[in-house]
Amino acid sequence: MERVLELEREHVQLHDELLSALDKLFLLQLGHGNLKDREAESSIAIRRQLQLSLEKSAAILTAIQRMSKLQHSEDSDVRTTEDILASRLANLMQENYELDYTVKELLEKEEKANQDLLDERTRYFDLIAKMTEVSDKIHKQKQASLAAGALPDSTPVAHTPREKEKQQAIIDQNEQIQELLVALKVHGGYDPLS
């Protein structure tokens, strides 16, 4: 087993050296005298990606052919190492397709969530603008009523118990609205004096 691993390492090392030599020849053929040029590095990177892509495509096609052959000849129990590798590669490809589909679904969900967030932020800023506008109007009305000499909390006198209940309900609602406006001002960073 150690001998196999050693041979495998030597094979990978020789393959890398061969690719490096081919890259140098490729650059010299293109006329790049300086091998440290950025354009040369870019050309080498593109060439390597194409090589890897072609090698992957060849391995995938071989695996598909072997799997097709294995499916048509189910009666034979004899399986070679290449058949086992082709079967394993086919399983990995299927897992990869399923994983790609899951990633695609998750990206679609993320995109929808981002769009929803953007819509809600737009709505939030619209509400802040409306709150600022309403707050300015209330502030101006208070200033105008103070300038006119009216008491800030003056309310008409209720005569019947039913009118008193309605008046108290209106007062409570006004207080709640004022508390909400103050909270929105604080949260939105609004300052009427600025």
- Per residue in 83-105, pLDDT tens? 777 777 778 888 988 999 999 99
Q: Residue 158 has what pLDDT?
A: 59
Structure tokens at 45: 């990177």
pLDDT at 152 over 60: no
In 3-state terms, what secondary structure has residue 9?
Answer: helix
pLDDT band at 193 (very low <50, low <70, confident <90, very high): low
The stretch 72-77 carries a mean pLDDT of 64
The stretch 109-115 carries a mean pLDDT of 95
The stretch 134-161 carries a mean pLDDT of 72
Q: Nearest 5 degrees, angle CA 90-CA 104-CA 111? A: 170
